Structure 1
Amino acid sequence: MKISIIIRSYNEEEHIAKLLSGIAAQTIKDIEIIVVDSGSTDATLSIASQYPVRILLIPKEDFSFGRSLNIGCKAATGDLIVLASAHVYPVYKDWVENLIKPFDDPKVALVYGKQRGGETTKYSEEQIFKKWFPENSGSRQIHPFCNNANAVIRRELWEQMPYDETLTGLEDLDWAKRAVQMGYRIAYSNKAEVKHVHNESLSNIYNRYRREAIALKTIYPHERFNSWDFLRLLFINSLSDYYASIVGRVFWRNIFNICGFRLMQFWGTYRGYSQRTEISSQLRRKFYYPGGAKVSKGQQSESHPQRRIEYGKALAEPEAESSSRAQKRISIGANL
């Protein structure tokens, strides 16, 4: 089966080279790589152009998570389409190999892989990663949870049901829910691990959970999140994080960022569920391009060292684009 990888990018000059280098180191070769960029103003495109990739450009004002995926999937030629955030990178050389293994079962529609944070990841977010992406692949998954920062889907199934371009987030959950309703399965691979390396400000954490809550209301219209849910979940999750930090002897290091993260997480969720009016174009821009988000290099774990990708301590500065590289860019008009 032919494999394509779609990478959504926006101002990812600090990370995209590491991801592309990790793809080049995979045990599976001859992978088609498509970068869908939504208006980067830094060196992202110059760096990406140094690798064997196709670059699709979409106007910033036309961006949504689902739209960028649909554009990438339409351009892809692979039977299986790997979806990756531009600020993740694979830990092992058999990342893609392990990610696609569950597709031996024809009823599997989507596989998502393990994620861990980097050294600057907020403590509470690392606890979320451990909960959402456990160490063991476990038993048959009956719910539609997944995450498109590290996932793979069947192209033929995407052709039947493209991503919802109107959602402000969670387009992966919506797609997986529809796949499950059609009788397909969602699988998890604990061996297909990536490092998810970002460091959000408190306002960006709030912004992310707010837009995801707005999307979740659309996907599950009967779900509710009231002020009692806000207080209850804030207390329970903060207490759990503080207990874990005490056991791990990192309490004082995280005493403030735990309460800050959890407060923004659940306040953003509450505000998203409380949204009653239509989302303005200004609010959409805030959701998709919030500004202030900082990303940092990740920290790797030490399991399976023989298959680990040895990333260099420093990546070369991007060269000026040649005319042949520039030709690989395709501008996607608003009418597509």
Structure 2
Amino acid sequence: MGVPRVSRGAGFGGGGGMRAFCREAVWPRVSVVIRCKDERPWLERALRLVAEQDYEGEVEIVLVDSGSRDGTRELPLPPGARWLDMKPEDFSYGASLNLGCRQAKGDILVLLSAHCFPLSKAWLRALVAPFSQEGVGLVHGRQVGDLRLDPSEAAELETLYPQQDRRGGTSFSDANAAIPRALFEACPFDEQLPIGEEAPLVQYALSKGFEIHYSAAAAVEHGHPADPPSLWRRSFREGWVLENHHYRGRRSYSLAHFAYRLLGRTLRGAPRTLVLQGFSGLLRKLRLDALRLRARHQGARAAQGGHPCSAEPPSGLRPLSPPPPRSYAIPDGPPFCLAPTPEGEARVRADLERIAARLRAELPQLRALWLAGGFGRGEGLLEAGHPPNDYDLELLVARPVAPDLLASLSRELARDCQVTWVDLEAHNLRQLRQLCAHSQYGYDLAHGARLLWSACGRPPALLPAPRLPFVEAEKILCARIWAMLYAWPPAQPDPRRAHWQLVKACLALADARLIEAGLYRSHLREKQKMLDTLPQTPGESKAYTWAFAQRLGDPHQPCPLGWSQLRDLYLETWAALASRQRGLPIDSPEALARTFPGIGRRDPIGRLVRALSPRRDRERSEGLRAGILLLARLDPEAADPGSQEEAHKLRNAYLSEKLRTLEESFPLLAP
């Protein structure tokens, strides 16, 4: 993507054109300026998230410290970060930003508050990219509040910062913003204002014909601790500045106006506060709303009377204790495992309680949580001496969750629980209901998942379909190609994992047969009963019997079929299913590969998966065809060592280059 680079020495004098920029096929050099004082707990997290950004250009981090005493300066700095010192008596928000921006070396100056946390690794790109548009002079990003810290502030931020981009207007905040160096040099921040130091800069940019761009993708979590003295000072300064520089006597501060605004602020965000924190949290929100409005009104009256911005809180203002955390425990129910033991059940329960508590703490938008997969159906497998392999969880959310945040939570939860992976899928209620009506994932969620928590105390109605479309069978088989390739001998880095991949591949064949016949069920024993009603070849019967025995009986029984037989059965069964559905003579792996370039176009849930570009469609089709043909070529019993070695190299190359394409192109459920 071509983005603008600021030309050094270019000015902003007059006209509506963006003469300070020139288009180049590179990302400009960026300086992230962070002002801080005694903010170690927040700054450590902010620095880590900034350092993890996916940005192709050069990035430096400039930290302006104005006398921290809490060990902030002892934090380890990421590469490209440096400290600047400022005397506490010289501090103002504008002076701090001016010092950092003057010492920064970047062409684009990114301004970030120390208690703002980027919600994705694309945050920095989303702030810089709008400068490629003609006429954009200032960019600021979305701010999402933290309901756990201050529900009143979170509701206000949601109103001020929508989820759609916009251009124009006068609204701008330097807590999460980007400006060109040339614009800053033409008009620095105001060092006299107690807050709102960006106002003169905004007025100057607008007077020169530039526009403000709001980037919803450049989202940060911005929350202040609900400490009443600090809240009073901040709100008093806001009221003083707004009256002096915006309202100028045009607004009433009567008791009736106070009551009217208090009612509006309390109702805004009240349902979510009640769900997450109960009545105690709602009462706390009411007190914070009243305190914030009272301080703003007093600040405005001080400005009307010509008094200085003295924001000292009244005596006797005590800190509010945070609401007690709502107790949480996994509801009692059937065992999680097929062969339950007290130790195994306790292990799974402890892991799930840890996961649920973390998700409820990290995701204020969470509304319900299900445990899916084997443990959700009560068919989990815990081998002696081995931890659980993974946990599959579905999240019902009120608003979207950043993919990077979900991925980060998955990794951290897997590490905390000492499992291979924790799979998190997040969707809203409309998406879940549509998925349940058309997809295997939704069917299993409705019939074979365990509700761990619900904000309303009861499971939402999902209404699954009685019969799944055949395209779901194709998706299952497509997703399992890599399982067969991974399990192919002779060299196995993880024989145990390869064994279970073969088991899953055979179960995928069984699922595809059941979906085609309209007999699909979520639970293994019910699947086994339904399969007994279908005609089976001797090879299919052996494969199904062995696969179900691994899950329901003896997990160490050897496979009765050789690898070549199992591979041939997989391809033959898949070709037979496709032949019957399409009415085509599919009698070879080559013919099977040719039938799938259009997969997805007849997909009834195609509206729910992200739109695929023609290039992406070609890539996934080519990857699928290559997988089918390579699977057919691999033969562990080949007599020629040279051909065996060559096939092994092809298999490894395929796994390294095509595995991710297959997994992304054929997910059972795309967000």
Both proteins in one fold, TM over 0.5: yes
1:92 & 1:294 partners in 2: Cα distance?
Answer: 31
- TM-aligned CA deviation for residue 33 of structure 1: 0.8
Distance 1:154 1:306 in 2: 27
Aligned to 1:220, the other structure's residue is in SS state helix
1:28 alignment partner, one of 55, 64, 73: 55
In the alignment, the residues of structure 2 paired with residue 209 and residue 132 of structure 1 have an alpha-carbon distance, to the nearest angstrom, of 16
Is the 1:200–1:294 Cα contact (8 Å) retained in structure 2?
Answer: no
The answer (yes or no) to whether the contact 1:241–1:258 under 8 Å persists in 2 is no
What secondary structure is seen at the aligned counterpart in 1 of 2:173?
coil
What is the Cα deviation at residue 174 of structure 1?
A: 4.2
Q: CA deviation at 1:197?
A: 3.7
Q: Pick from 112, 125, 145: which aligns with 2:140?
A: 112
The one-letter amino acid paired with 2:403 is P
CA offsets, 1:86-108, max 9 Å, x none? Answer: 11121111110011111112421
SS at match of 2:117: strand
Distance 1:197 1:152 in 2: 20
- After superposing the two structures, state which structure 1 stretch, 110-119 or 151-160, moved more: 110-119
Deviation at 1:305, TM superposition (A): 1.8
Equivalent residues in 2 for 1:25-174, closer than 5 Å: 25-29=52-56, 30-49=58-77, 51-118=79-146, 120-137=148-165, 139-142=166-169, 144-174=170-200
Residues 229 and 174 of structure 1: CA distance in aligned 2, closer, same or farther (over 3 Å):
farther
Q: For residues 276 and 42 of structure 2, what CA distance do their matches in structure 1 show?
A: 30
CA distance in 2, matches of 1:235, 1:87: 28
Which whole-Å CA distance do the structure 1 matches of 2:105 and 2:162 have between them?
32
1:39 alignment partner, SS class: coil
The verdict on how the C-alpha distance between 1:309 and 1:25 changes in structure 2, with shifts beyond 3 A counting, is farther
Q: CA deviation at 1:193?
A: 1.2
Structure 1 pair 293–107 and aligned structure 2 pair: CA distance change class (3 A): farther
Q: What is the CA–CA distance in structure 1 between the aligned matches of 2:109 and 2:262, rounded to whole Å?
A: 37
Alignment deviations for residues 43-75 of structure 1 (CA, whole Å, 9 cap, x no partner):
111105465312111111110011101111111
Structure whose CA Rg is larger: 2
Q: Secondary structure at the match of 1:96?
A: helix
In 2, the alpha carbon distance for the partners of 1:313 and 1:160 equals 45
Is contact 2:43-2:115 (8 Å) kept? yes
| Compared CA separation, residues 285 and 181, structure 1 to 2 (3 A) | farther
Q: Equivalent residue of 1:134, what SS?
A: coil
Amino acid across the alignment from 1:150: N
**Distance (whole Å) between structure 1 residues aligned to residue 404 and residue 267 of structure 2:** 38
Q: Distance in 2 between matches of 1:50 and 1:27?
A: 15
Structure 1 unpaired stretches of 5+: 315-336
CA distance in 1, matches of 2:195, 2:159: 20
| Greater helix proportion | 2
Q: Note closer, same or farther for the CA distance 1:307–1:124 as it changes in structure 2 (3 Å cut).
A: closer
**d(CA) in 1 for partners of 2:74 and 2:153?**
31
In structure 2, the CA distance between the partners of 1:18 and 1:239, relative to structure 1 (3 Å rule), is closer
Q: Take 1:294 and 1:171, find their aligned partners in 2: how far apart are those partners?
A: 32
Structure 2 length as normaliser, TM-score? Answer: 0.42
**Cα–Cα, structure 1 residues 309 and 165, in superposed 2: closer, same or farther, change >3 Å?**
farther
1:199 aligns with 2:262: no
| Structure 1 segment 2-17 matched on structure 2, within 5 A | 2-17=29-44
Are the counterparts in 2 of residues 5 and 82 from structure 1 also a CA contact under 8 Å? yes
Evaluate the alpha carbon distance shift between residue 313 and residue 168 of structure 1 in structure 2; reply closer, same or farther with a 3 A threshold.
farther
Return the alpha-carbon distance in structure 2 between the equivalents of residues 293 and 46 of structure 1: 30
Quick check: 1:236 aligned with 2:264?
yes
Cα deviation code 1:165-208 (max 9, x no counterpart): 10010113443233223321111111111112431212322221
Q: Counterpart of 1:331?
A: none
Contact 2:31 2:106 in 1 (8 A): yes
Q: Which amino acid is the alignment partner of residue 48 of structure 2? A: S
1:181 is the counterpart of 2:279: no
SS of the residue corresponding to residue 22 of structure 1 reads: helix
* Structure 2 partner of 1:299: 362
Where 1:66 maps in the other structure, the secondary structure is helix
Counterpart-to-counterpart distance in 2, 1:249 and 1:76: 42
Distance 2:277 2:406 in 1: 27
CA distance in 1, matches of 2:257, 2:204: 27
Q: Which residue of 1 aligns with 2:665?
A: none
Q: Quote the residue 1:208 is aligned against.
A: 234
Aligned residues: 305
1:140–1:12 distance in 2 versus 1, CA, 3 Å: same
Looking at structure 1, the residues matched to 188 and 257 of structure 2 have their Cα atoms a distance apart, in angstroms, of 33
Q: Distance in 2 between matches of 1:171 and 1:113?
A: 17
Question: Residue by residue, what CA displacement relative to the aligned partner does 1:14-50 show, whole Å, maximum 9, x if unpaired?
Answer: 1212111111111115201100111100111110546
> What is the distance in 2 between the residues matched to 1:256 and 1:106?
48
Structure 2 distance, partners of 1:146, 1:299, is 27
The answer to whether structure 1 residue 217 and structure 2 residue 280 are counterparts is no
What is the deviation of 1:124? 1.6
Give the aligned partner of residue 308 of structure 2.
Answer: 279
> 1:334 is matched with which residue?
none
* Overall identity of the aligned pairs, in %: 28
